[in-house]
Structure 1
Amino acid sequence: MKILFITATRIGDAVLSSGLIAHFAKKYPGARFTIVCGAPAAPLFESVPGLERLIIINKLPLHTHWLRLWGMLATTSWDIACDLRGSAITSFLLTRNRIVGAHRDETVHRVIELGRLTNIEPWPSPTLWISDADRKVAKSLMPYDGAVLAIGPTANWGGKQWPPDRFAALALQVTAADGFLPGARIAVLGAASERSMAQPFLREIPSERLIDLIGQRLSIAAACIKHANLYVGNDSGLMHVAAAAGTLTLGLFGPSSEVRYGPWGRHCATVRTPKGFKEIVLADGFDHTSHQSLMEDLSIDTVYTALEKLNSKANNGGEGEPSERPA
């Protein structure tokens, strides 16, 4: 059984699609996978069981990257060719079963949409495959003798970024002597290129409390997040990694839709700005090219209350508000 799986360039969308791979691996024991994705997400797929080939797709002028990719795939007869990018490439491949994610339903969560596309129920929950080597590195980076609060203060667009100094104030409040995670260490995560975004956060956290994981390889970051007690962050790829890791996850939303892209799982919750997604993006003067934060009206108290509620429910044997919305 040979399965071709073409997924997203961005980390978040790639994570949300990972449940399909897990489903195929379980349904077809011994299947051999060729996975095509963007470079940012590639580390998350390196330890997929049955991985035969991992192809990183880099965009080329005039969309010639698709022609190049076709040349890599055309000599194989596929049992399943699943293209979540919605391209025409599978039409020119020999395959017994073709799945193309061409349509988008913005009214339902992406995981539900993928489940409907492939006729999978229950919905295919995102999955992580973490290697022993990455676990070993994570163990050297994370303390295991106490609680850890993980923070994701960056995002791929400034409009979705809650001010980093508020993340710092939140982290210090949560881990204070009278907070609900007293004395916990504070881990901060993000891409190496995002260090400047996180600098206002880093300046506020005492060095003896800080675990600086910015710039760590994505698969190592995932292994670290898995051992945190809580994760709170902007709507980003790392938020979806945290949810897939099974860590209690609170996602912060403003100019993006929690209905469509909230962290997936009953151990997750979201909190958003007073204004709804459409109220923000359809407002006069909205500029999607601006990197000014559109999250400034989300208060620290609101986020603290939501995070404390999520933590309390988990500790009392309950769960956060489910992200698995009904079909």
Structure 2
Amino acid sequence: MSDNQQASASGARVLFVSPNRIGDSVIASGIVREINRQWPNARITVAAGGPPAPFFRSAPGVERIIVVNKGKWASHWFRLWAEVVKQPWDVVIDTRGSALGWLVRAGTRRIYNRGWETGVPKVEVVSRLMQAPHSLEPELYIDDRAQAEAAAVIDPQLAGGAGPGPVIALAPIAHQKGKSWPADRWGALVEMLKAEPRFDGWRFMLVGGPGDHPPAAPALAAAGERGIDFVGKGDILASAAAIRRAALFVGNDSGLMHVAAAAGTPTLGLFGPTEWWLYGPRGPRTRTVASNQTRGEFAPIEDLTVEAVFAATLDLHDAFIGAEAGA
């Protein structure tokens, strides 16, 4: 009997070191399903950064989550090592390519190698890490708790004046330099959408983390009574539940963009000087608009005009809302 067969028969103990960022965690989320396929009845321990940790609380086979927040002098790795070193693992999967995977006892090791990043989407690299026979598409596990937390914010705002119309979710926040479209343009975009007949009666829901109110403020102000404020309201899984309730999503190249695509919401990602052809939202219900639409060339995100984003949003609407209405 092989190591995999023995581990499967007894319920393999799997240590999964997930990416630290929200977007990367979404991209790698298909690993959970693949663990369960390769090692049925696996007992999975996930080591995750604080913000993406809620993704895994209802994932199949996950029995423990270790929150790993970065510390000075890489002290978080020592803390994690102390948590897991005493346990012999059947399988260690390390998406961060750290030394940890080699410093614990393990029967099978799958350690990420940055040398695999050769111009293919990261989902494909993650699939190679897992030696999977197919692409490991992102998958979210949105539980009842997240749905209830989303409803507790959205439903009172709808009842309080925003009304029952379709919702477009907007995420004007990206925490990496050069990825944030200027806040005032989000306000201008909302004004243009409010005046567009396709969006008559639509509501504008702003989503983001606890510190993201300043860049969301112009869009919320423009939305007025048709606005829904979901900025800083709940953890990332609650945000995912809120975004899944939306009919469309438009956002900067960010973790929430990847969340929206994985949730199945038609998604438009805004890109500046980053590789939209590699890091764009994943899935058949997605689009990108970039400050330079020529693959291999770049321009500052400030070069992306309101008119271009407005036109791309109309295309997104027509592809997934207009087409469904006419079906």
**Aligned partners of 1:62, 1:297: CA distance in 2, in Å?**
38
For structure 2, the 5+ residue unaligned runs are 1-11, 159-163
**Aligned partners of 2:37, 2:293: CA distance in 1, in Å?**
42
Contact 2:172/2:186 (8 A) holds in 1: yes
**Aligned partners of 1:225, 1:26: CA distance in 2, in Å?**
28
Residue of 286, 298, 301 corresponding to 1:268: 286
Identity %: 38
Contact 1:128/1:244 (8 A) holds in 2: yes
Aligned to 2:85: 74
Contact 1:87/1:102 (8 A) holds in 2: no
Cα distance change on mapping 1:95 and 1:128 into 2, 3 Å: same
| Structure 1 or 2: more helix by fraction | 2
Aligned to 1:149: 168
Question: In terms of mean alpha carbon deviation, does 84-93 or 165-174 score higher?
Answer: 165-174
**Aligned partners of 1:199, 1:146: CA distance in 2, in Å?**
22
Q: Are 1:55 and 2:35 matched, yes or no?
A: no
Question: In terms of mean alpha carbon deviation, does 271-280 or 46-55 score higher?
Answer: 271-280
**Aligned partners of 1:230, 1:175: CA distance in 2, in Å?**
15
Contact 1:173/1:179 (8 A) holds in 2: no
Contact 1:154/1:161 (8 A) holds in 2: yes
**Aligned partners of 2:37, 2:312: CA distance in 1, in Å?**
36
**Aligned partners of 2:142, 2:282: CA distance in 1, in Å?**
19
Write the letter of the residue equivalent to 1:169: A
**Aligned partners of 2:199, 2:311: CA distance in 1, in Å?**
13
Residue of 295, 302, 306 corresponding to 1:296: 302
Aligned to 1:220: 238
Displacement, 1:304? 1.9
**Aligned partners of 1:168, 1:28: CA distance in 2, in Å?**
49
Cα distance change on mapping 1:181 and 1:28 into 2, 3 Å: farther
Aligned to 2:226: 209
| TM-score normalised by structure 1 residue count | 0.87
Residue of 105, 123, 126 corresponding to 1:114: 126
Task: State how 1:237-252 maps to structure 2 within 5 Å.
Answer: 237-252=255-270
Write the letter of the residue equivalent to 1:92: L
Aligned residues: 304
Aligned to 1:96: 107
Cα distance change on mapping 1:92 and 1:242 into 2, 3 Å: same
Write the letter of the residue equivalent to 1:94: R
Displacement, 1:205? 2.1
**Aligned partners of 2:171, 2:184: CA distance in 1, in Å?**
12
Local SS of the residue matching 1:192: coil
**Aligned partners of 1:63, 1:29: CA distance in 2, in Å?**
34
Cα deviation digits, residues 135-154 of structure 1 (max 9, x gap): 12222333584200000001
Cα deviation digits, residues 169-211 of structure 1 (max 9, x gap): 22332343x33232111000111112122223233221x1111
Say what the alpha-carbon RMSD is for the aligned residues.
2.1
**Aligned partners of 1:29, 1:48: CA distance in 2, in Å?**
14
Local SS of the residue matching 1:150: strand
Local SS of the residue matching 1:93: coil
Contact 1:106/1:260 (8 A) holds in 2: no
Local SS of the residue matching 2:200: coil
Displacement, 1:280? 4.1
Displacement, 1:224? 0.4
Local SS of the residue matching 2:138: coil
Displacement, 1:245? 0.6
| TM-score normalised by structure 2 residue count | 0.87
Question: In terms of mean alpha carbon deviation, does 66-75 or 31-40 score higher?
Answer: 66-75
Contact 2:14/2:90 (8 A) holds in 1: yes
**Aligned partners of 1:189, 1:6: CA distance in 2, in Å?**
27
**Aligned partners of 2:258, 2:305: CA distance in 1, in Å?**
23
Cα distance change on mapping 1:26 and 1:135 into 2, 3 Å: farther
Displacement, 1:63? 2.3
Displacement, 1:278? 5.8
Task: State how 1:142-181 maps to structure 2 within 5 Å.
Answer: 142-143=154-155, 145-176=164-195, 178-181=196-199
**Aligned partners of 1:126, 1:66: CA distance in 2, in Å?**
26
**Aligned partners of 1:139, 1:88: CA distance in 2, in Å?**
42
Local SS of the residue matching 2:199: coil
Cα deviation digits, residues 220-244 of structure 1 (max 9, x gap): 1110000100000000011111111
Aligned to 2:139: 127
